[in-house]
Amino acid sequence: MFREDLLKGKRIFVTGGGTGLGRTMTEHFAALGADVYICGRREAKLTEAADEINARGGGTVHTRVLDIRDPEAVDAVVESIFAEGPLDGLVNNAAGNFISPTKDLSHRGFDAIAGIVFHGTFYVTHAVGRRWIDAGHKGSVLSITTTWVWTGSPFVVPSAMSKGAINIMTKSLAAEWGRYGIRVNCIAPGPFPTEGAWARLSPGSGLGDGDYTDQIPLGRVGRLDELGHLAVYLMADGSEYITGQTVAIDGGSMLGGGGTFWGLQKLSDDDWGKIREMIRAANDKDKAARKG
Ligand code: HXC
Ligand code: NAP
């Protein structure tokens, strides 16, 4: 979709870049020439991703072991990256989640998610953003949220609350940091099957097939490359006038099931013929009554 050198010379930090969507975005950025820093807690996952992507050519992937729940560690890692040169982009992708009835959550269960998504995302954004402002360097922050920022979602309340907070951080910082040349946006994906998400959101129940995709107007889950393309677009210079926005990439899943008549999509042409006749009969009856 893009010119091969589109991101050449860019330096981008992707949290949670060793797996899933973070790894896909890293692959796309590096393929288009960007140097990418990825972080996570599992060194082996980071090294595996970096080695595989670096073997393909393009930009270079560097790794940093980091738990973003630790603000001092975040600051030290961001400092070490800037010591090698200023970043141009940050992707807040790292997250934690699991499904659970909210009544069964302990406060530690809530904190396990909020610590990563709510606090960790802020720590990283703050550490990178203040360096950009101090240096007078423009930059772009892209955070991965979910469509729950608009709809909410049962059984994932700590995640939905924390992602909603990132959505508001995005709008707030877009306004506050625009004058420094920093733009701040979000991507809100619908379901994209990844090992990390499916193990915690669909532990053995087949999310992503059968009845579940029935709720997605486009009839399928997302393809990782589709998300990679959107991330590249929002990170590239050509989208420089976009800030404070959250772009859904969900096959319409946020809209499926919500509208009053969603269930009618199951009706056949024959069913619709009968419905039309019934409505016409009701109209005719009213018309006759009006004529007296
Ligand atoms: C209820 C649970 C629980 C569960 C843990 N807890 N799992 N409570 N139901 N299934 C509670 C524990 O009982 C404990 O509280 C507290 O949480 C901390 O437990 P730990 O075992 O120490 O948790 P931790 O090791 O921190 O692991 C939880 C985690 C972990 C942070 C979520 O799985 C993780 O690091 N995940 C990262 C990757 C990930 O989640 N990826 C998916 C992203 S998908 P008590 O009180 O008992 O001590 C996503 C959106 C997808 O974000 C959108 C799809 C459309
Ligand atoms: P994933 O593979 O589990 O990604 C989560 C990543 O975050 C992992 O690489 C993990 O690495 C890292 N991480 C978690 N806690 C961390 C911490 N404390 N410090 C540093 N890194 C941490 O799942 P995914 O599906 O790709 O999810 C990626 C993003 O997309 C998340 O923000 C998720 O909410 C969002 N999303 C996913 C979907 C979907 O359908 N897959 C839909 C909507 C939104 P370590 O465990 O090694 O630390």
Summarised one tens digit per residue, pLDDT across range 96-141 is 999 999 999 999 999 999 999 999 999 999 999 999 999 999 999 9
Task: Tell me the two tokens of residue 34.
Answer: 């960007």
207 against 37, higher pLDDT: 37
Residue with tokens 């807040």, as numbered in its chain: 92
Measured by CA distance, the residue closest to atom 39 of ligand 2 is 192
pLDDT score of 206 = 56
Residue 71 CB burial class (10 angstroms; 0-12, 13-18, ≥19): middle
Distance CA 7, CA 99 (A): 37
Question: What percent of the chain has pLDDT above 70?
Answer: 97
Dump pLDDT digits (tens) for 20-68. Answer: 999 999 999 999 999 999 999 999 999 999 999 999 999 999 999 999 9
What's the mean pLDDT in 76-81?
A: 98
Q: Which atom of ligand 2 is nearest to the CA of 69?
A: 18
pLDDT score of 122 = 99
At position 183, the amino acid (one-letter code) is R
pLDDT score of 205 = 58
Compute CA 65 distance to the chain's CA centroid, rounded to the nearest angstrom. Answer: 22
What's the mean pLDDT in 284-292?
A: 94
CB distance 201 to ligand 2 below 6 Å: no
pLDDT score of 263 = 83
Report the CATH superfamily, name and number, of domain 11-291.
NAD(P)-binding Rossmann-like Domain (3.40.50.720)
Give the pLDDT band of residue 209 (cuts 50, 70, 90).
very low
Measured by CA distance, the residue closest to atom 8 of ligand 2 is 16
Task: Tell me the two tokens of residue 11.
Answer: 């330096």
pLDDT score of 143 = 99
Q: Which atom of ligand 1 is nearest to the CA of 196?
A: 41
What are phi and psi for residue 186, nearest 5 degrees? Answer: -130, 150
CB distance 108 to ligand 1 below 6 Å: yes
What's the mean pLDDT in 172-189?
A: 98
Dump pLDDT digits (tens) for 216-275. Answer: 999 999 999 999 999 999 999 999 999 999 999 999 999 987 778 888 888 899 999 999
From residue 63, give the alpha-carbon distance in Å to each of 26, 38, 40, 288: 11, 5, 9, 77
Ligand (nearest to CA of 194)? 2
Q: Which atom of ligand 2 is nearest to the CA of 195?
A: 2
